[in-house]
Structure 1
Amino acid sequence: MSAPALDDPFDGLPLQQTRLADGVIGALSEAILAGRIGPGQALPSEARMAARFGVSKQVVREAVRQLEALGAVQIGQGRPTRVVEALDAQPLSRFWRFAAGGTRAGLAEAVELRRILEPQVARLAAARATPGGIAELEAILARMEAAMGDVPRWITADLDFHDHLGQLSGNRLVRLQVHGLRPVIEAVMHLFNDRGERGPADWRATWQRHRRVADTIRAGDAEGAAQAMLAHFAAADEAIAEIFPPRGPD
């Protein structure tokens, strides 16, 4: 048996003893994540991969389609399948929308998840934020202030604020997770703002809580940022309890 070609991106990546398509997905994923097949580059042909892995072209096709569903590759009609330039959170967004189901129970669980996740995101942001990232955070805060009283504009700016903290965390997986939750959190924000008319003092108080989070991040105060985010959620407890009545033991 001849040695693998030098340009073989799968050299040293044998299929695991599992479902054949899963094994192909694992080998392809390792090759992509290790940079053996870089962003924008084409995958080898189905025939070449089938021969390389000793499977049928149908198995390879199934594996590639699953990678497309994950947002890792892009299948083109009549063109080679290519690795995406950068992973995005669309597959996660679709998953979270499905998991929450648009139900109050699902959205309430999203609130709980956010409360667990976001203080730690703020902690990382305070430790890792760059001057440029902090400047962008200030610009988002200015948009929020200008949007007080305008619910659609406010919600967009509010979502952007929390999204940007994911960016500032410096952790790619955290960034994708926060952005993936965005559609579900947007649904929660609409419920929150639909409860009744909010006065200027309410808008200002909410903005000030975001301001405190930003101030601690700018100061590099990781613990302070986590506590400011916890305080932000605690201030909304009454409204959250109104929207999502407390659950009893299962």
Structure 2
Amino acid sequence: MAPSRLGDAVIERLTEAIIDGRLKPGDPLPSEGQIAATFGISKPIAREALRELAAMGVIQVQQGKVSRVRAIDSGPLARFYRFAVGSTKHGLREAVELRRMLEPHIAALAAERRTEADIAVMHDILKRMEATLGDVPAWIEADLAFHNQVAAMAHNRLVVLQLKGLEPVVRIMMVRFNAREARTMDDWRVTLARHALIAEAIEEGNPAAAEAAMRSHFAAADAAIREIFGPDPTPGRPG
């Protein structure tokens, strides 16, 4: 078997052990020598496999110390999105489109799976949003918390990681949306009302209404997107 394939086999076995719980966050990993002996590979291949796992954010490697398992988080995905999107007009527009594909379905799932504790947290976030109307930095944090809470209410770990991974890009968009000079206090209240409709549908356990409310929320952002980016570009050409 080629060296790269041998390294891939090590990565696959170790990630399986992490995902199924045999290796937990904080647990030490075997040394390079132990991994090499266990898998019948050379130390350089074992070392490269560990480097790849570290690059993926799966393990923490410190020189002179034992490598340890890390809790799976959205950090690597967030770094990927920041690189892929940057702050270009075309990239940010694509990020908005991606959110529109994902979040209505996430809201529907949240309506099916929400718990009383979930609903209580969502109400607290709505109160934070109301208290921060017109305060751009505080509102953005509350707005992000609302959308992350809807994702959490879907009770799907990958959904949460996806939304958290997108958060740095979403934050850039929110700063641009909310910093518009034409935005009045009435505009802020209308935006809050859209979030309240999403929350109401989720609390009622109505997936169709939750999905429709989230779609409406994104549709209402069309004017803001055009104001920031201008008209939609010609298909196939960057905007």
Q: Deviations over 1:201-225 (max 9, x none)?
A: 1010000000000011111111110
Matched residue type, 2:57: G
Alignment of 1:66-105 (within 5 A): 66-84=52-70, 86-105=71-90
Q: What is the alpha-carbon distance in structure 2 between the residues aligned to residue 152 and residue 33 of structure 1? A: 36
**Residues 136, 179 of structure 2: 8 Å contact kept:** no
Residue 54 of structure 1 corresponds to which residue in structure 2?
40
- Structure 1 window deviating more from structure 2 (43-52 vs 109-118): it is 43-52
Q: CA deviation at 1:236?
A: 1.3
Instruction: Tell me, yes or no, if structure 1 residue 131 matches structure 2 residue 116.
Output: yes
Match of 1:161, SS state, is helix
Q: CA deviation at 1:35?
A: 2.1
Matched residue type, 2:32: E
Match of 2:214, SS state, is helix
Q: CA deviation at 1:29?
A: 1.0
Matched residue type, 1:127: E
Residue 143 of structure 2 corresponds to which residue in structure 1?
158
Gap runs ≥5 in structure 1: 1-14
Residue 243 of structure 1 corresponds to which residue in structure 2?
228
Q: Deviations over 1:35-59 (max 9, x none)?
A: 2223321111110101111222221
Shift of the 16–216 alpha-carbon distance from structure 1 to 2, 3 Å rule, reads: farther
Residue 10 of structure 1 corresponds to which residue in structure 2?
none
Q: CA deviation at 1:17?
A: 9.0
Q: CA deviation at 1:20?
A: 2.6
Query: Aligned match of 2:97 in 90, 112, 115?
Result: 112
Matched residue type, 1:246: D
TM, length-normalised to structure 1: 0.89
Instruction: Tell me, yes or no, if structure 1 residue 24 matches structure 2 residue 10.
Output: yes
Gap runs ≥5 in structure 2: none
Q: Deviations over 1:1-40 (max 9, x none)?
A: xxxxxxxxxxxxxx99963322221111112212222332
- Structure 1 window deviating more from structure 2 (49-58 vs 217-226): it is 49-58
Matched residue type, 2:16: E
TM, length-normalised to structure 2: 0.93
Alignment of 1:209-228 (within 5 A): 209-228=194-213
Q: CA deviation at 1:137?
A: 0.8
**Residues 3, 45 of structure 2: 8 Å contact kept:** no
Q: Hey, which bits of structure 1, 4+ residues long, moved more than 4 A? A: 15-18
Q: What is the alpha-carbon distance in structure 2 between the residues aligned to residue 164 and residue 77 of structure 1? A: 38
Query: Greater helix share, 1 or 2?
Result: 2
- Structure 1 window deviating more from structure 2 (70-79 vs 215-224): it is 70-79
- How many pairs does the alignment contain? 235
Q: Percent identity?
A: 52
Q: What root-mean-square deviation, in Å, do the aligned CA atoms of Structure 1 and Structure 2 show?
A: 1.6
Q: What is the alpha-carbon distance in structure 1 between the residues aligned to residue 29 and residue 2 of structure 2? A: 20
Q: What is the alpha-carbon distance in structure 2 between the residues aligned to residue 211 and residue 236 of structure 1? A: 16
Instruction: Tell me, yes or no, if structure 1 residue 168 matches structure 2 residue 162.
Output: no
Q: What is the alpha-carbon distance in structure 2 between the residues aligned to residue 65 and residue 145 of structure 1? A: 46
Q: What is the alpha-carbon distance in structure 2 between the residues aligned to residue 197 and residue 152 of structure 1? A: 17
Matched residue type, 2:66: P
Instruction: Tell me, yes or no, if structure 1 residue 204 matches structure 2 residue 199.
Output: no
Q: CA deviation at 1:240?
A: 1.1
